[in-house]
Amino acid sequence: MARLKTAVLISGRGSNLQALIEACAAPDFPAEIALVISNVIEASGIEHAIKAGIPVRIVPHRDFKTRAEFEAALDKILRAAGIELICLAGFMRVLTGGFVDAWNGKLVNIHPSLLPDFPGLDTHRRALEAHKRFAGCSVHFVRDEVDAGPVIVQAAVPVLPGDDEHKLAARVLTAEHKAYPLALRLVAGGRVRLSGNQIEIDGKPGPIRLNPVA
C-alpha cells in the first residue's frame, strides 16, 4: 500500500507528533511520517522523531530575515523530501498566504478549542471564563486566517467542576491524541473531499465529531 508522505512541523513538546507516530505504526495506516521539522532547536518533541527513526530538520525561524524567506526554506525542504501532506502539531509560527495557498488542501493543523470558538491563544482559560460546558479540539485545513479553515475532526470533552486551565488542557490533550490520528487517517485515505470551505467525509458533510471523549 502506498502511504501518503507526511511531514509534521513542531515547536515544542510533540505529544501530538508522538500520537501520529504511533498511529502510523499500524500496518493499514494510509500515511507515513517521512519528515519532522522543528523551528526550535530545543523542542523536546524532536526526541520522539529520533526514537522512531524519522528524519528531522531544524529550521530556526530566527535565521531568516523575513517570514517569506523562512517559508521558502521550509517549502524547499518539504518538496525535496517529496512531502504530500503537512501536519502542524504545536508549530508556533503563523504561516502566511503564499505558503498556505501553495499547500492548500495539503496543510492541516490541530487547535485546542472547538472552532470557531476561541481561535488564537489561551483557549482553555477563555473556555473556562466563558463558562462553556464543553471544550475540545479541532483538526482543520489551514487557511490564510489564523485557526480558521474547514474542520475535519472535532473532539469534545466536558468542562468539570473544579477545572483550572491545567486540568482542562490535559483533558483536551487526550482528545487531541485521538482526533489527530483519525483526521490523518481520513485525509491520507482519500476520504475527505474539500471544495472551497465545504468538506465531505465519506460522501457526507463533515466534520466528524467525537463527542465527548473522557
Contact status: 125 vs ligand GRF (CB under 6 A): no
For ligand GRF, the closer CB: 40 or 208: 40
Residue 111: active-site member = yes
Shortest spacing between CB 104 and ligand GRF, in angstroms: 20
Identity of the residue, 30 or 112, whose beta carbon is nearer to ligand GRF in the bound complex: 112
Counted residue by residue, the chain has a size of: 214
The residue sitting closest to ligand GRF, measured at its beta carbon, is 90
Minimum distance from CB of 198 to ligand GRF (Å)? 24
Alpha carbon distance 209, 149 (integer Å): 16
Spatial separation of the C-alpha atoms in residues 132 and 84, rounded to whole Å: 37
Of 176-195, which residues contact ligand GRF (CB under 6 A)? 176
Contact 130, 123 (CB under 8 A): no
In DSSP notation, 136-204 reads EEEEEE--SSTT-S-EEEEEEEE--TT--HHHHHHHHHHHHHHHHHHHHHHHHTT-EEEETTEEEETTE
Range in contact with ligand GRF (rule: CB under 6 A) among 6-14, 62-70, 183-191, 206-214: 6-14
Nearer to ligand GRF, 23 or 110 (CB): 110
136 near ligand GRF, rule: CB under 6 A: no
Query: Which helix (H) or strand (E) is 87 found in, with range?
Result: strand 85-88
Out of 9, 24, 40, 110, point to the residue binding ligand GRF (CB under 6 A): 110
Site size toward ligand GRF (CB under 6 A) is 15
Q: How far apart are the first and last CA of the chain?
A: 33
Nearer to ligand GRF among residue 69 and residue 184 (C-beta): 184
Q: Residue 76, class by beta-carbon neighbours within 10 Å (0-12 exposed, 13-18 middle, 19+ buried)?
A: exposed
Q: Give the containing element (helix H, strand E) for 58.
A: strand 56-58
Query: Which residues of the shown chain bind ligand GRF in the complex (CB under 6 A)?
Result: 10, 12-16, 45, 89-90, 110-112, 137, 173, 176
Just list the catalytic residues: 111
